[in-house]
A and B are shown apart, each in its own frame.
Chain A
Amino acid sequence: MAAVYKSLSKATGQKDDAPKDGVRKNKQRVLILSSRGVTFRHRHLLNDLASMMPHCKKDAKFDSKSKLYQLCELADLYNCNNVFFFEARKGKDLYVWLSKVPNGPTVKMHLQNLHTMEELHFTGNCLKGSRPILSFDATFETQPHLRVIKELFLHTFGVPQGARKSKPFIDHVMAFTVADGKIWVRNYQISEVEKTGDKAGEDGGAEKDKPSGGKKSKPGLKDTDINLVEIGPRFVLTPIIIQEGSFGGPIIYENRQFVSPNQVRSELRRSKAGRHNARAEKQLERVVKKGDLGLRTGGVRKPADALDVKQVFA
Chain B
Amino acid sequence: NKMYCEVIKAPWSSNSGRAVVCNNWLFAVSSVCSSFCESKFNFKKCKELCLSFIQDAMLQKQWKRAAEFLTFYVESLEKDFSREPVGASEIIWRIGSEILRHHPDSSVKEFNTFIEPMKTLSVKRYLKVCLEHAFYLLHNGLIDEAYQNLSLAESWRFGEQTVIQDKELKLIQAYLGLLDYYKWSKQKNILLEHGKYLSVEQEMHSCFRKAAVNLKEIIKIPGVWDQFVKCYVDMLEFYGDHNEARQVLNEYAYNPKFPANPNAHVYLYQFLKRHGESKKSLISVLKILHDIVPSHELMIDFNTMLQKSKKRKRRRLGLEVIFTALDYAGCKENVKAWSCLARQMKQIKHLAWIKQEWNSRKDWWPAFHFSHYLAKKNWQENESLSYEKALVGGCVLSENHQQFGKKVKIVTSLAAFFEMLPKPSGVSG
User: Do chains A and B interact in one complex?
Assistant: no
